[in-house]
Structure 1
Amino acid sequence: MNLNTHVAFALAVGLVLFHNDLSLAVLAGIGAALPDLDREYIFTRRAMFARYQLHRALFHNLFFASAVTLFNPYLGLGVFLHMLLDMLTSPTDGGIELFFPLGRLVKDIKMDYEGRVRTSRGIMWLLEDPVRLINRTADVGLRETVKMPWLRVYGPFKNSRLADWTIFYFSFLFIQLFEIHDLLNWWIQFLSTVFLKYTFITIGLVLFYSIGELWRKKLQFKNVTDNQKLAIISGMTLGGLMIIYQGQSLFMPVRLTKSK
């Protein structure tokens, strides 16, 4: 799923749940943008991501989502919604590694897709991960370099591009209809909330992802000079620092009150 789809879907859900407070719905949208920070950007070598399969694992698991929820339940809602959509995608897109890093305790598989049974010491998974069968259609960073245990959760969305755009446009249309009674005023409040109330974290996310995607899709395949790499790293680092700077002010732990 594309990032804009995750954000739009979380915003739509947030509006339904927190209609009286737009800022909480926006927080859900911001939370939905966090898991993809584990993409294979310039900070790490692409080969390392192919070997360890960190995308859709490092920040796409129950432990990360739970930690964010304890920090701020509205951000946590966005993370869980992001994971839900990615969990519906096919092995071509990687699904998600729901129990990372515990799943990495499984080092081997009992049976591969050729039907060969293997014996090994330690914890073994029943089947080989099906991603190997469709590596030719998977993103380069998601292609497995060796046979791996079936650690990820996949869903029915075989045509992820179609599902992606369907969910995005449905979410966008739903938001317009949900706020149709005062749509212009809602857009003014929404933009004000995003760019004035959450200025640093919004700009930080845009900066980090825009530069990161430029590197991931284009620049890493070209002869980039050291100065250009430094500029890319500096821009992404600045974006990351802006996210952290305002992110720490969003601490809003869940308070459990005793009933009288």
Structure 2
Amino acid sequence: MNLNSHIAFALAVGLAAFHNLEVAILVGIGAALPDLDREYIFTRRKVFAKYQLHRALFHNIFVATLITYFNLYLGLGIFLHMALDLLTSPTDRGIEPFFPLGRIVNAFKLHYDGKISRSKGIMWYLEDPASLINRTADPGLREPKKIPWIRIYGPFKNSRLADWTIFYGSFIFTQLYNINNLLGWWEEFLELAFIKFGLIDTGIIIFYVLGELWRRKLQFIYVGTLTKGLIMGGMTIGLALILLQGAQLYSPNSLLDNDTIELGLLCFGIGFILALIHVKWRFKEIIM
């Protein structure tokens, strides 16, 4: 989904869930963070395509959970961002929720040409629909080789009807939600967004404006060293502002204590081992 849809949707959910504009803005800020993994100037396009980092590096449950522990509302925004992106098509690359652990297993059983692979180790079940992706996705998102289907895809195309419905619907909701004091709401919103959270919001704006300028236009034409340096310098400043104020938002939540987290990890680890034994015994092969 488009970044504006992510932010508007997160803001609407934050208002509906917490009835607090400051909290809602934090949720919106969180929703803006995952797309920092786009193929911007810091990464060569071929390198980015090789490692397929977009919608993987910051679109996974591990980063989202870590940020949720850091700040509940930022984490909620990231989870909302992921929820919308997993509804998008293979062309848009969905999300890779288990990155990087999902890439430890490279084998898959069923190929699109009907071939069936055999392996004594763990396999994913299906091949990723590379033929479709390589015909329709942006060049930096195409797959250089056959890989297993480890992303989650949905039926919707980025920046089409569903995307804009979410944006307009969310925006209208935020306005009608505060219709009795709309002017006061906007005054409070602007004060919070650009004064209290001004550094991180300014950093996000700088980073994405310059990043999209590079991604959509400048990387395809010749630009001088000075221009490239200015773009990179501006994006570095934007990222620094995000990190500077982001570090000040540390507010660990009390939903789960460390003992509960450790117990959960232990139980899932044991469960994984038991599942390996069960599936191997039952099916004579291990498919995720």
Deviations 1:175-217 (A, max 9, x none): 1111111111101110111001001001000000000000000
| 3-state DSSP of counterpart to 1:126 | strand
Give the drift of 1:124: 2.0
Q: Distance in 2 between matches of 1:206 and 1:74?
A: 20
Q: 1:12 maps to which residue?
A: 12
**Offset from partner CA, 1:150-171 (integer Å, 9 cap, x none):** 0101123257521111100010
| Partner AA of 1:53 in structure 2 | Q
Q: Please name the residue that 2:112 is paired with.
A: 113
More displaced, 173-182 or 27-36? 173-182
Q: How many residues align structurally?
A: 257
Give, in whole Å, the separation in 1 of the partners of 2:237 and 2:168. Answer: 31
Name the residue aligned to 1:79.
78
Q: Is the 8 A contact 1:90 1:154 kept in 2?
A: yes
Give the structure 1 partner of residue 100 of structure 2: 101
Shift in Å, 1:121:
6.0
2:144 partner amino acid: T
Amino acid at match of 1:244: L
8 Å Cα contact 1:14/1:25 also seen in 2:
yes
- What are structure 2's unaligned runs of at least 5 residues? 258-288
> How do 1:132-147 and structure 2 match up within 5 A?
132-147=131-146
Amino acid at match of 1:142: L
Counterpart of 2:30 in structure 1 is: 31
Query: 1:1-260 residue pairs with structure 2 within 5 A?
Result: 1-19=1-19, 21-120=20-119, 122-158=121-157, 161-255=160-254
Check whether the contact 2:59–2:82 (CA below 8 A) recurs between aligned residues.
Answer: yes
| CA deviation profile, 1:113-132 (whole Å, cap 9, x unmatched) | 11012345643212110143
215-224 vs 135-144, greater mean Cα deviation: 135-144
Q: Deviations over 1:133-158 (max 9, x none)?
A: 24221122211111110010112325
Give the structure with higher Rg (CA).
2
Give the match's secondary structure for 2:124: strand
Checking the alignment, whether the CA contact within 8 Å between 2:37 and 2:57 is kept in structure 1 is yes
Q: How many angstroms does 1:17 deviate by?
A: 1.4
Contact 1:95 1:152 in 2 (8 A): yes
Gapped regions of structure 1 (runs ≥ 5)? none
What SS does the aligned partner of 1:93 have?
Answer: coil
CA contact (8 A) 1:107 1:122 kept: no
Structure 2 residue matching 1:91: 3-state secondary structure: coil
CA distance in 2, matches of 1:224, 1:152: 35
Q: Tell me the C-alpha RMSD between the 2 structures.
A: 1.6
**Partner amino acid, structure 1, of 2:29:** I
Secondary structure of the structure 2 residue equivalent to 1:144? coil
CA distance in 2, matches of 1:197, 1:173: 24
Alpha-carbon spacing, 1:231–1:24, altered in 2? closer, same or farther (3 Å): same
Confirm or deny: 8 A CA contact 1:129 1:150 kept in the other structure.
yes
Q: TM-score, normalised by structure 2?
A: 0.86
